[in-house]
Amino acid sequence: MQINDKEFEIFITAEQIDSRVKTLGKEINEAYQDKNPLFLSVLNGAFMFSSDLMKEVHIRSEISFVKFSSYESMESTGSVQKMIGLKENLSGRHLVVIEDIVDTGNTMAYFLKLLAKEKPASVEIATLLFKPQALKHPLQLKYVGFEIPPKFVVGYGLDYDGYGRNLKDIYQLKLN
């Protein structure tokens, strides 16, 4: 699969994602049954995962969308920009952050710090993908779809320079 100047190969299929997302949904339903959680989906990357995950969540809950950007092309710049989109009162709420991927953890560490200021009842992270070898922060990731090696991936919401978010499977960069 060619995206712009790079060649990618299939890595995680839509079927594998679907099955894993259903399991995560069940776990969330059990853990948050009476907690009226507020899901915070991090755009753009988590849009597809959030959508599929929420279809498996059958408990009383809300979802809201936030956005920041730090990632230029294939390398994390390390600096996270301003967050936009959050209007809800988070005080006393049980929050579940929905992310596409945790790489260095810079984005999540920064976001968790912002959220803590609002005095939520609890905060957990649900990330589709996790690259443990790239992690630079002591993050607790309660819901992880797949642990993956530190290779660049695209598809199912994740982009390469804006392209590939629409792919239903996840691809990884092909190293020739």
159 binds ligand 5GP (CB under 6 A): yes
Give the integer Cα–Cα distance in Å for 150 and 135: 10
Residue 116: CB partners within 8 Å, gap ≥ 6? 123
152 binds ligand 5GP (CB under 6 A): yes
Structure tokens at 164: 């590939």
Q: Which of 8, 49, 106, 130: binder of ligand 5GP (CB under 6 A)?
A: 106
Q: Which of 3, 38, 96, 102: binder of ligand 5GP (CB under 6 A)?
A: 102
Catalytic annotation, pick one of 52, 100, 103, 159: 103
C-beta of 37 vs 45, nearer to ligand 5GP? 45
Q: What DSSP character marks residue 168?
A: S
Provide the minimum distance between the beta carbon of 30 and ligand 5GP in the complex, in angstroms, as a whole number: 26
139 binds ligand 5GP (CB under 6 A): no
User: Directed axis angle between helix 47-54 and helix 14-31, to 10°?
Assistant: 60
Residue 92: CB partners within 8 Å, gap ≥ 6? 119, 120, 121
Structure tokens at 131: 């690259």
123 binds ligand 5GP (CB under 6 A): no
65 binds ligand 5GP (CB under 6 A): no
Which amino acid is located at 118 in the chain?
A: E
Q: What track of x and - describes contact with ligand 5GP for positions 34 through 53 (by CB under 6 A)?
A: -----------x--------
Residue in 7, 48, 15 with CA at minimum distance from that of residue 158: 48
**Interacting residues with ligand 5GP (CB under 6 A):** 45, 70-71, 76, 99-107, 152-154, 158-159
